[in-house]
Amino acid sequence: MGLYEDVLEMWQSYTIVSIYDIDKYLDSFRILFAYNSGKIENDDITYHETREIFENGTVSGFSGDPRALFEQQNQRLCYEYLKYKIINRETLSADLVKEIHRVLTMGTYSENSYIQKGERPGEYKKHDYVTGVHEVGSAVEDVESDMEALIDEVNEYSGEDILKAAAYLHARFEFIHPFADGNGRVGRAILNYFLIINGHPPLIVYNDDKRGYYSALQEYDETEEIAPLFEFLRQQCEKTWAKTLALSNGSAQKRKGLSDFFAKGE
């Protein structure tokens, strides 16, 4: 078996029947996911502040853009909200996607978006916004039907290649770009939700790897090919769980000892 298959086997060996089980297995993951998912689109976000928010609910000595704190507090709230849905294996729906968007974007819309354009957290966009080299994004009048079709399509999937179906879900969602803001954060959240309720491990799209991430999404925009994104997500999943897998196999990385810091003969 390859590394991804080993990770999948490890994840499927976990007994997850309560929110306490979710907290146990996603303790470190939830913070790293929130940090990286936020950082991809907001450079003001830091790991230290994200961790403070998740562990203490407060941040001390912060002097940056308040939006960064709102976004990460919203990430924490979204995690708390979704873990109950996960336990109940609630099927992905348009209402759930919109509620995820509402939770993740509360208090983060710009004055122009909220007042002048009338955009609201938890509602599909009211104006056309294009993104990327190829200016993707469904027209306002098509968003609802495009989202319903996408959700029905992935919910009806009964095969075993869940990660490939998740890659399609993510690529198509980002192509539709249904909201005025927050599409990246929402897309990564529903990607993981779909994976978990289908018995597969969630993953982190690392900020350090965002160039490859954007390239894979652009490939879909240009050619409707999901192979690059599928392979990218597979690698990100392996990266996400490599240390946990090593620990579970009793092969934790060996750290240097004191003698390693002295030249021979000293």
90-105 pLDDT, tens digit per residue, is: 999 999 999 999 999 9
Domains in the chain and their CATH numbers? 3-248 (1.10.3290.10)
Q: For tokens 């000595």, what's the residue? A: 61
pLDDT tops 90 at residue 62 = no
Q: Integer distance in angstroms from the first to the last C-alpha of the chain?
A: 46
% of the chain surpassing 90 pLDDT: 82
pLDDT tops 80 at residue 61 = no
Query: What is the three-class DSSP state of 191?
Result: helix
Mean pLDDT, rounded, for 141-156: 97
Q: For tokens 């769980």, what's the residue? A: 241
C-alpha neighbours within 13 Å on the C-beta side of residue 170: 33
The per-residue pLDDT for range 242-252, each reduced to its tens digit, is 999 999 887 65
For the chain, state the CA radius of gyration.
20
- Can you tell me the distance from the alpha carbon of 177 to that of 94, in angstroms, rounded to the nearest whole number? 14
pLDDT tops 70 at residue 30 = yes
Q: Using DSSP, how many helices (H) and how many strands (E) does the chain show?
A: 12, 0
pLDDT tops 90 at residue 136 = no
pLDDT tops 60 at residue 219 = yes
Report the pLDDT value the prediction gives residue 134, as an integer from 0 to 100: 58
Mean pLDDT, rounded, for 173-190: 96
Q: Mean pLDDT score of the chain, rounded to an integer?
A: 93
This prediction's pTM = 0.92
Report the pLDDT value the prediction gives residue 250, as an integer from 0 to 100: 77
Query: What is the three-class DSSP state of 136?
Result: strand
